[in-house]
């Protein structure tokens, strides 16, 4: 028995903040943000929206597209670093809203790699605990953690949540490999010391950029090799949406056509753990990732962490 993707869903907050809007708050410009990152706008939560409300909408949509009911879930995992509250965890808050009960519920904090980390945990738990259906959510509300006077960070991020339902599979569809890792010695490059004297996200952008260019191609190569396939066999590479220049550099380094690396960061900004499931849901809805396709997901971010997986849809 394998474990396969059965359905996807996503939810972005309704309020949009454009680069021009930001240029009225901090000393920046649409030209600078577009050229350095590719981002044109991001979605930001408003009064009445939070991580749970977005995750509920994304989860509901994923269950519907998988034709699975909440009561069938044996596991809910949420990859996030921006829980609405410390206790209970986000997955526990989602459980009754989605009509699930009794199932295991946990959050995983691995920043922008959170969704792939959560997928790998769900994969293992479904096998060891004999679980038929799991809901894996990835999302963050980073706007709450932003220093809106710091132009080096606030232009990069947005809020959003994506979700996927996993099920046992007895055909060719399913996860083929994972590569998960971290380099804690580089934690200083991107952190949010909420319990200390500075409650905002701080980043050494160039250090993160260097790490990404070094680590992401290596992790992709490892996951592809473990899956027993060749990188040319992969139909779509869904990479964490941090920066268009990172996608271009990875495409060049691995000699993968840029057309195989779809992106939505121009509309969403960097939504951290929401980034990959949001893009996955969009790729499925637009027919960019189709049944039978071989796809690769790759996240990277604070920790510094990374996570890659290969699956057949
Ligand atoms: N608007 C205008 N000017 C700015 C802005 C801004 N928003 N931010 C920085 N600048 C200025 C700097 O002050 C600097 O000015 P100076 O030359 O007078 O000192 C100049 O622009 C260049 O700054 P750099 O930091 O060198 O710009 P860089 O080309 O490295 O781009 C960026 C910054 C986009 C953050 C880049 O380093 C990057 O993409 N890093 C990857 C990190 C990333 O994407 N992080 C996202 C979260 S982590 C993750 O998801 C993996």
Does 275 sit in the ligand 1 pocket, CB within 6 Å? no
What pTM does this model have? 0.96
Rounded CA-CA distance 279/225 in Å is: 24
pLDDT exceeds 80 at position 1: no
Ligand 1 mean position, distance from CA 209 (Å): 10
**Residue 294: closest CA among 224, 242, 213:** 224
pLDDT per position as a tens digit, 243-260: 999 999 999 999 999 999
Q: Which of 140, 169, 198 is the last residue of a domain?
A: 169
44 CA distance to ligand 1 middle (Å): 21
Query: Which residue's CA is the closest to the ligand 1 atom numbered 25?
Result: 205
Give yes or no: residues 164 and 210 share one domain: no
In the annotation, is 218 catalytic?
no
pLDDT at 172 over 90: no
Could you tell me the distance, in angstroms and rounded to a whole number, from the CA of residue 55 to the centre of ligand 1?
30
Indicate if 255 and 274 belong to the same structural domain: yes
User: 105 with 162, same domain?
Assistant: yes
Q: CB of 36 closer than 6 A to ligand 1?
A: yes
Rounded mean pLDDT of the chain?
96
Residues 196 and 87 in one domain: no
pLDDT tens digits, residue range 258-297? Answer: 999 999 999 999 999 999 999 999 999 999 999 999 999 9
> Are both 252 and 179 inside the same structural domain?
yes
In the residue annotation, 127 being an active-site residue is answered as no
Number of domains in the chain: 2
127 and 184, same domain (yes or no): no
Same domain, 181 and 141: no
Same domain membership, residue 82 and residue 214? no
Residue ending a domain, choose from 152, 169, 186:
169
Q: Give the CATH number for residue 17.
A: 3.40.47.10
Q: Which atom of ligand 1 is nearest to the CA of 154?
A: 7
Cα→Cα distances 176→221, 243, 245, 270, 296, Å: 14, 27, 28, 27, 10
pLDDT tens sequence across 179-228 = 999 999 999 999 988 777 788 999 999 999 999 999 999 999 999 999 99
- In this structure, the answer to whether residues 108 and 218 fall within a common structural domain is no
Residue whose Cα lies nearest atom 51 of ligand 1: it is 301
pLDDT at position 156 is: 97
> Residue 63 sits in which domain range?
2-169
Question: Which residue, 109, 73, 78, 113, is CA-closest to 92?
Answer: 78
The residue out of 169, 203, 238 marking a domain boundary is: 169
Say which of 89, 270, 298, 309 is annotated catalytic.
270
């Amino acid at each position: 028995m394998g474990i396969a993707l059965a359905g996807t869903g996503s939810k972005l907050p309704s309020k949009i903040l454009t680069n021009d809007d930001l240029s009225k708050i901090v000393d920046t410009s649409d030209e600078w943000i577009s050229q350095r990152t590719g981002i044109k706008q991001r979605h930001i939560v408003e009064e009445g929206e939070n991580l749970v409300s977005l995750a509920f909408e994304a989860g509901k949509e994923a269950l519907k597209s998988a034709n699975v009911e909440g009561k069938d879930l044996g596991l809910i995992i949420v990859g996030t670093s921006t829980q609405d509250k410390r206790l209970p965890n986000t997955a526990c808050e989602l459980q009754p809203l989605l009509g699930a009960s009794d199932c295991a519920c946990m959050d995983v904090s691995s920043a922008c790699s959170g969704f792939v980390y959560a997928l790998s945990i769900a994969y293992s738990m479904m096998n060891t605990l004999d679980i038929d259906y799991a809901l894996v959510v990835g999302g963050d509300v980073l706007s709450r953690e932003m220093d809106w006077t710091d132009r080096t960070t606030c232009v990069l991020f947005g809020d959003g949540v994506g979700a996927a339902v996993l099920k046992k599979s007895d055909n060719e569809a399913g996860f083929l490999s994972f590569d998960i890792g971290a380099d804690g010695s580089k934690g200083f490059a991107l952190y949010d010391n909420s319990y200390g004297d500075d409650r905002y996200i701080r980043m050494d952008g160039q250090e993160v950029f260097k790490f990404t260019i070094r680590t992401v191609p290596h992790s992709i190569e490892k996951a592809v090799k473990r899956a027993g396939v060749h990188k040319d066999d992969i139909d779509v590479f869904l990479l964490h949406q941090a920066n268009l220049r990172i996608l271009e550099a990875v495409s060049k380094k691995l000699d993968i056509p840029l057309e195989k690396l779809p992106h939505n960061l121009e509309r969403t900004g960097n939504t951290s753990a929401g980034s990959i499931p949001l893009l996955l849901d969009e790729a499925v809805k637009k027919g960019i990732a189709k049944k039978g396709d071989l796809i690769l997901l790759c996240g990277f971010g604070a920790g510094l962490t990374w996570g890659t997986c290969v699956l057949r849809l």
